[in-house]
Structure 1
Amino acid sequence: MAETRTIARPYAEAVFKLAKNQNDLARWADTLQLAAAVAADENVRSLIGNPKISSRKLGELFLSVCGNRLNEEGRNFILLLAENGRLEILPEVNELYEQLKTRHEGVLDAKVISAFAMSDAQLKDLVTDLEAKFKRKIEAKVSVDADLIGGVIVEIGDEVLDASVRGKLEAMAVALKS
């Protein structure tokens, strides 16, 4: 996965730079989201891994699945990736592009993992606290993991805030062993 992200990063950065220069971040986000969804499809993935299909043919097949929803630049980007044998990295390109876009827009993505389902009020309070801490707008995506026992884990970029009971118990176990 890390290797794939390393390969995807220059593509994402190049598309982001182009989109920013064109003042067209949203359209490129849509383009990459569509392309990532197509690349993630099992049928398409089997074609991407098929050595009997030329890169040109693969690019054309990929574009036919996308239909007329891509503009000329989007189509050229897909053909470039196909030519370089990189269509499989489109989900990572999309993810990295979204990170660049949200950072540019002053928004941070937060992954909130909670031991229990959170009410709207609880989530709003948590987001308000996170926005105060990071001094940026926060968009939170919440998932539930009962193994946390209680509390939450918040992941924002490379930073992890572990306020879970499981995390505290693990820290206590480490402290007792030393």
Structure 2
Amino acid sequence: MDNDMATTVDAKAIAGALYDALFGAAAEQLQAVATKVANPSGDVAQQISAALPADALPQVRNFLLGLAKEGLIDRVADVAQAFSALAANPSAQALAAVVTSAVALSAEQQATIVADLRARYGNDLSATFAVDESLLGGLIIRVGDRVLDNSLRTRLSAIQRNMLTS
């Protein structure tokens, strides 16, 4: 094994250990607060501080204070459970794309779209394809919380709005 490959392998192993340590600590801290602040009352910030260990990650503390400020601290048990699941299986965070077209796309067209989306969003992206004949033509692509609407229906609606305002 050449030195560059050994360095890359070592770096990945070390990064994995850091990832596990950080996410493991954050998950433990969230769970500690979830069990101690199940029914918050009074000074919630003080209850959070008392529930967290002295060496708690500042990001976890700030996150919990933000939940309390938004009135969502009662959801911390659900958040802790979801976070632990995500920390245990980071690939569950992979992006999902939904591509909607007016007609069914060929396997070649689907492969081209998936390749383009993976080039932009990463190889962990998964894609599903749907047909909506009301689009008339073009595509609507949803990736996470982003939407690219390049459908003929939307373009015609935009033209109609422009004509009505002129």
Normalising to structure 1: TM-score of the pair? Answer: 0.44
Q: Which has the larger radius of gyration?
A: 2
> What is the TM-score of this pair, normalised by structure 2?
0.47
